[in-house]
Chains A and B, each alone.
Chain A
Amino acid sequence: MNFKLKDIVPQLITVTAVVLVFGFFTYNAQINMENRGIDFGYGFLSQESSFDVQFSLIEYDGSHSYFRAYLVGLLNTILVSVIGIIIATILGVIVGVARLSPNYLINKFAAFYVEFFRNIPLLLQIFFWYFAALRALPLPQDAEAIFGVFYLTIKGLYVPAFIWQNFSVFFYSIVAAIIAIIVIRIHAKKVQENQGKQIPVFLISIGLIFILPLLSFLIGGVGISFEVPVLKQLATTSFIYEGGVSLPPELIALTLSLSLYTATFIAECVRAGIQGVGKGQKEAAASIGLTPNQVLKLVIMPQALRIIIPPTTNQYLNLTKNSSLAAAIAYPDLVLVFAGTALMQTGKAIEIVSITMFTYLTLSISISLLMNWYNKKIAIQEK
């Protein structure tokens, strides 16, 4: 055994300090809860919640349990994050590429966008869209239809709903298409390695993803119809739209500001990634006779992605965490529903805050573990 006092003592002191602090907190918490007559426990999760949530993806009302309220909040958080991530990625990539454009006007326009939206606090942007911009929209009865079916009003965006027949067949056809594409890709790679022949994978993939679902319509009995929102009068001055899907203004304001804000950071990641690929790489690839498309696909993109993906994943994580600002405009996300309303009703501060934090922590840590794995996979293997 090779114990040294010098190594043990600092660790011992640190651990003792941490244990003491935690012990102090736990001790106080126990006394405080005893004095206030609160008992510690997670049993309240199965009790009836008896509060309503305005916007929910799953069936929910006051008679459901607190756990279900938690699920409603979590799903709403995930919904806004996923929509935000998709829009932010598309916008970010476009702006990032535009930042590298040789066209002076486009370049400056993209730079202006990035500098403008990135330097204003996100909360302020959310408030701006929700309290100022969206409040200027017309009332339901005055709204004009966009393309005849969309209605953008002060009460939210009304879009037509899809009504599917035999949705499962359609779904399976898409799954089948994806599996077929993966198989073909693997096969094509093998063929190219063995025989040097190239199979036009991209064209085949595009074809498959269109043809298989189309077949499901033609012979699988899948049908689709639209339910268009229709104006309905509730009282003399009160109108709403019925039918279709309604997106509440909170959701619109939140996704808009989250994606506009995060897109600026993603744009910078994309720009850095593309700039990070040496000019020599492009020239070398061109000089061995690759077409511009091949240069982009086989040389630039794989190297740029290696630089782009890690910080971009970080931005996705930030977006998910920032979606908790929803609480400020009363979008029923995890923080508002659970750490807000449920906490007020039950008074279980420690349990509820810890569950909320643990949820976000699980989300973040699982994504960063995935990240590390991916990083290791794509890292340059030096020999």
Chain B
Amino acid sequence: MMSKINFLKPDKNNLNTFLYLGSFLFFISVLDVFINSFFSLNLTSFLPGFLSFLLPLILGFIGLYFIRIEFSGIKQLDLLNKHINTNNFNAVLSLLIIFVIIKSLPPILSWFVIDASFAGDTKDVCTGSGACWTYIKVWMRRFMYGMYPNAEQWRINLSFIALVLMGSVGYFATDRFKKYLTLYYVVIYPLIAFLFIFFFISGGPVFFDFSYGIIAAILSIILGFFIPAKYKFYYFLIVPLALYITLKYFIFFEEYVELGKLDGLNWVETGAWGGLSLTFIISFFCLIFCFPIGMAFALGRRSNFPLIRYISVGFIEFWRGVPLITVLFMSAVMFPMFLPEDFFIDKLVRAIIAISLFEAAYVAEVIRGGLQALPRGQYEAAKSLGMGYWKMHIFVILPQALKLVIPGIANTFLALVKDTPLIFVVGLLEIVGMLNLAKTNPKWLGFAMEGYVFAAIIFWIICYAMSKYSYNLEQKYKTDR
């Protein structure tokens, strides 16, 4: 049944006519842009330049106007209209976005893949107009490990693999061991990680001796079976370290100045560390340190003692008020002035201290938010049970508050990872710093773009994964409450 067609007003009676006409026009407009973009052919070159340029937009617009028929009865068409074609304005925007995507695909593809060079290991192979991934390939080790000697890089790999494996213990722990997980992650895991990095990766002298450490660990675990469950947390917090110190300095009378060193490992000074592995090392340590410091200041800011409160507020507001780069400047040029003359602190350690203090202030504010969000009844209930300040916080307040602020903490850590490139101020070169170094190499001039794109992809993957994970955690704990 055909009724009178009014082209200014598409209606349901002539659904098929409008549908075919509209789809055809829309298809033509997309095809025109597509051919123009992928084969550099201008189908409408016979028209004046201005009109030829705008024609796809006009055709597409008319096409979308024709197929904008409400309640057409065709499911796909209704969905399409609802999503990209609700009114004239939206239709134009949708067309523009479609055109931009079609237009930008060929140059991006050709730069990334088609015209890019992958083979070879000298600059000469990079003659095409595309990216020179050979450059990344050749410099890969430097971007990952900095100036760390090639022959020793297995130490970094091994440490990271070990740390990841040990970190994933939480996922496999049975219910019986779940209660020890907090202790494991808060005390034991950071300690082991610390040893791995400053002992194994550095290979330098450290204040730790493995033989006594292992004896102390075994002894304290055996003794631990006789400790009532109530005190186990405090026990494992204090005893292993105390045992170690007793064994080393009081039973076997090691000299204080004698430093432990693993045989057969070369010392690699921290100045040679770099690349992505340094990003991970710094993020990891700052993460470990800024959390307890931040927690202490968050509690301090909500303390009933005015002096403690003022000091905490001063600390938090100071670090939050200054940019990280000036903090690093301070750690580089001002901090050495504040220490005794013969007292030397490694610049990596200084950077880690500076970033940890800086991020701790942000962590403190996040945790304070969680503490404030808890209902007063929780505090009162804990007090009415006769709990003291510490007992109340450790067993009642903090577990709930920390659960609340997990997304906030994750965001702070995300910011921390994104802030690590700033350590160029103290002369340490993580991946972005190595890129800047590599692009000034006379043999490899002119590949800045490839390097930055490469680093951007790496950082993007890390940060995106982290933000998605924190979002998932947020959703998970939302339903819990």
Contact = CB atoms under 8 A, between A and B. Distances in A.
Contacts of B449: 128, 132-133, 136
A32 B418 contact: no
A153 B307 CA distance: 58
Interface residues of B, number: 57
A14 B300 CA distance: 11
A357 B330 contact: yes
Contact of A120 (B318, B422, B460): B460
Nearest 7 pairs between A and B by C-beta?
A: A119-B463, A364-B321, A104-B83, A321-B323, A25-B338, A132-B449, A361-B321
B93 A350 contact: no
A84 B84 CA distance: 32
A83 interface: no
Contacts of A24: 338
B311 A18 contact: yes
Interface of B: 82-84, 86, 90, 93-94, 97-98, 304-308, 311, 317-318, 320-326, 329-330, 333-334, 336-341, 417-422, 424-425, 432, 435-436, 439, 448-449, 452-453, 455-456, 459-460, 463-464, 467
A14 B308 contact: yes
Nearest to A33: B337
A245 interface: no
B305 A10 contact: yes
Interface string A107-130: 001000001101111111101100
B129 to A, nearest CB: 12
Contact of A131 (B325, B418, B452, B460): B452
A65 interface: no
Interface of A: 7, 10-11, 14-15, 18, 24-25, 28-29, 31-33, 35, 101-106, 109, 115-116, 118-125, 127-128, 131-133, 135-136, 321-322, 324-325, 327-328, 335, 339, 343, 349-350, 353-354, 356-357, 360-361, 363-365
27 contacts: A11-B305, A14-B308, A28-B337, A28-B340, A31-B340, A103-B86, A103-B93, A103-B94, A105-B94, A116-B460, A119-B467, A120-B418, A120-B456, A122-B418, A124-B452, A128-B449, A131-B452, A132-B448, A133-B449, A135-B448, A136-B449, A327-B425, A349-B337, A356-B329, A360-B322, A360-B326, A364-B320
Contacts, number: 155
A35 B340 CA distance: 11
A361 B467 contact: no
Given A7-B305, A31-B340, 10 more contacts: A18-B311, A106-B90, A119-B459, A120-B460, A123-B422, A123-B432, A128-B452, A327-B325, A357-B322, A361-B321
Nearest to B300: A14
Nearest to B461: A119
Contact of B452 (A31, A35, A116, A132): A132
Nearest to B85: A103
B459 A103 contact: no
Contacts of B425: 327
Contacts of A15: 307, 311
A103 B320 CA distance: 39
A360 B321 contact: yes
Contacts of B305: 7, 10-11, 14
Which of the listed residues B305, B326, B330, B339 has the most CB atoms from chain A within 10 Å of its own CB? Answer: B326
A10 B311 CA distance: 13
A309 to B, nearest CB: 18
B93 A105 contact: yes
A18 B308 CA distance: 10
A303 B459 CA distance: 37
B439 A361 contact: no
A40 to B, nearest CB: 10
A224 to B, nearest CB: 31
B421 A121 contact: yes
A127 B436 contact: yes
B322 A121 contact: no
A127 B432 contact: yes
A331 B326 CA distance: 16
Nearest to B312: A14
A169 to B, nearest CB: 41
Contacts of B341: 28, 31-32, 35
B83 A14 contact: no
B464 A119 contact: yes
Contacts of B422: 123, 325
Contacts of B452: 124, 127-128, 131-132
Nearest to A326: B325
A283 to B, nearest CB: 19
A350 B322 contact: no
A299 B337 CA distance: 58
A364 B326 CA distance: 14
A103 B337 contact: no
A150 B418 CA distance: 35
A115 B455 contact: no
A7 B303 CA distance: 11
Which of the listed residues B305, B329, B435, B464 has the most CB atoms from chain A within 10 Å of its own CB? Answer: B329
Contacts of B432: 121, 123-124, 127
A75 B422 CA distance: 23
Which of the listed residues A106, A127, A131 has the most CB atoms from chain B within 10 Å of its own CB? Answer: A127
B286 to A, nearest CB: 15
Contacts of B339: 28
Contacts of A353: 326, 329-330, 333-334
Nearest to B456: A120
Nearest to B340: A28
B460 A14 contact: no
Nearest to A324: B323
A269 B448 CA distance: 34
Contact of A350 (B94, B320, B337, B420): B337
A365 B317 contact: yes
A360 B453 CA distance: 32
A325 B453 CA distance: 19
Given A131-B452, A339-B326, A357-B326, A349 B333 contact: yes
B102 to A, nearest CB: 12
Nearest to B432: A124
Which of the listed residues A7, A14, A31, A353 has the most CB atoms from chain B within 10 Å of its own CB? Answer: A353
B239 to A, nearest CB: 25
Which of the listed residues B306, B318, B333, B424 has the most CB atoms from chain A within 10 Å of its own CB? Answer: B333
Contact of A325 (B83, B325, B340, B459): B325
Which of the listed residues B306, B324, B325, B418 has the most CB atoms from chain A within 10 Å of its own CB? Answer: B325
Nearest to B421: A123
Which of the listed residues B308, B449, B452 has the most CB atoms from chain A within 10 Å of its own CB? Answer: B452
B434 to A, nearest CB: 12
Which of the listed residues A24, A124, A339 has the most CB atoms from chain B within 10 Å of its own CB? Answer: A124
A10 B326 CA distance: 32
A128 B307 contact: no
Contacts of A322: 323
Contact of B307 (A14, A101, A116): A14
